[in-house]
Structure 1
Amino acid sequence: LPLREVRGYDCGSLKNPRFPEQVPVPGTRIPTLDEVLLSAKSSPVEFNIETKIFPREPELAPAPDEFARLLAAAVKHHGLEARAIVQSFDVRTLKEVKRLAPRIRTSQLTSDDLVDILPALKAARADFWSPFFEWAPAETIRQVQAAGIRVAPWTLNTPKDWEAAAASGVDAIITDYPAKLAAFLKEKKLR
């Protein structure tokens, strides 16, 4: 979609029933990546940026190399390479980001039960592996970490899931509830 059309959407008025604690903020517009990076530049926040590329529907996003170029340029423009992680299911984007901006960390998202993920992660020069947690056996997590690649499964939203992830030794957790996760980790003395 053209930016002017994206800007027309009010993304703050409707509540998503899956997130009952969500507070509507009517009139909220979708910011550009540049606006997000600029607004948080002076805070210590790190950026986990996911590319959404659908190989079967290439018209929905720029080509992987162009997507990576635009994304890397925005992050570099703000001097935030050390605070950014680019994650994607599309390894082409990750390889190109790493080629253009080696200081930007990358994370290979996976949604399948992969028997031998390590060679693919090494080929992509991924800094992180972000698997669907239920399909990430503890032994695979250990092998990936032994190769120097950090593990950050997605999307864990309950204390039960956080407990299981912590027990498996993951390095980070992707969640829709970061404040609750932080409180959980503090309570369990895991942070």
Structure 2
Amino acid sequence: MTLIFAHRGSAGTHPENTMEAFYEAERVMADGIELDVQLTKDGEMVVIHDETVDRTTNGKGFVKDYTLKEIQKLQANFKFKSKLFKKNRVPSLREVFQWLKGNKLLCNIELKNSIMDYQGLEEKVIGLIREFGYENRIIISSFNHYSIVACYRLEPAVEIAPLYSSRLFMPWIYAQSIRAKAIHPNLKAVRDEIIIEAMNNGIGVRPYTVNKADQMERLLNLGCTAFVTDYPEKAWKLRENKKG
């Protein structure tokens, strides 16, 4: 069965990378969530996509220049102006992990260290995974492939998967060479035969960001390992219809 990962939570209907977006992903029966992690000024792991807080909050400046306490005072409801979403804030990774105790969702952590060199990010993330015993529930991905290899070396039990946006030649060979169990390509960078060949070679494929019904249908028909979407409820309904 093709698994459904909620991109930054249910980012199409709720403020991205907030607890409310993750609660919604659970409510609509996604199989997992995808989120982004960076470090604050005081070395805390926070869940936010951009290197700055400008787009997704009412603040300005770099994530790295805020302490956890400061960043959590911001409102993280950028384009969702309804009264429903007034109190959203930037969660810590620990907060998300605490909530994961109450469900069985998988969690794909994207390390946002391609632009900012967050020293110690890998060690901190792996340390928290071990603390909670989530070695079998977490997938670590990044566009910084040195970073995910560092995670594998720290904890081989945690799955790693390279993110990429341009077409790779025989990406399953590359994945095997860095001990990754899956690839996370941009949907535009992966053809059907590549998806099939990768899976035939024991490498999972989880394309991003799959929001159109025809794209979802394509991947469901292929039996693709999983895909990442802003609209997990729409994806779940399409998958259910296929079962019928």
Q: Is the 8 A contact 1:89 1:109 kept in 2?
A: yes
Paired with 1:4 and 1:112, the residues of 2 have a C-alpha distance of: 38
Q: Which runs of 4+ in 1 moved over 4 A?
A: none
Map 1:84-123 onto structure 2 (within 5 A).
Answer: 84-123=138-177
Question: Which has more helix, going by share of residues?
Answer: 1
Question: Which 5+ residue runs of structure 1 have no aligned equivalent?
Answer: none
Q: 1:4 aligns with which of 69, 76, 81?
A: 69
Residue aligning to 2:211: 157
TM-score (norm: length of structure 2): 0.68
Q: 1:26 aligns with which of 63, 83, 86?
A: 86
CA shift digits 1:7-63 (9 cap, x unpaired): 222103x3259xxxx984112221110111011212111111111112xx4xx3413
2:227 counterpart SS class: coil
Q: Answer yes or no: is 1:39 the counterpart of 2:99.
A: yes
Q: Is the 8 A contact 1:15 1:23 kept in 2?
A: no
Q: Which has the higher contact order (CA 8 A, sep 6+)?
A: 2
Q: Answer yes or no: is 1:78 the counterpart of 2:155.
A: no
Paired with 2:144 and 2:125, the residues of 1 have a C-alpha distance of: 14
Q: Is the 8 A contact 1:156 1:162 kept in 2?
A: yes
- Tell me the matched-pair count: 179
One-letter code of the match for 1:52?
K
Question: Which 5+ residue runs of structure 2 have no aligned equivalent?
Answer: 1-63
Paired with 1:133 and 1:168, the residues of 2 have a C-alpha distance of: 13
2:126 counterpart SS class: helix
Residue aligning to 1:15: 79
Residue aligning to 2:110: 50
One-letter code of the match for 1:153?
P
Paired with 1:84 and 1:101, the residues of 2 have a C-alpha distance of: 12
Q: In the superposition, relative to structure 1, how do residues 167 and 79 fare at CA in structure 2: closer, same or farther (>3 Å)?
A: same
Q: CA RMSD in A?
A: 2.0
TM-score (norm: length of structure 1): 0.85
Percent of aligned positions that are identical:
26
Residue aligning to 2:221: 167
One-letter code of the match for 1:143?
E
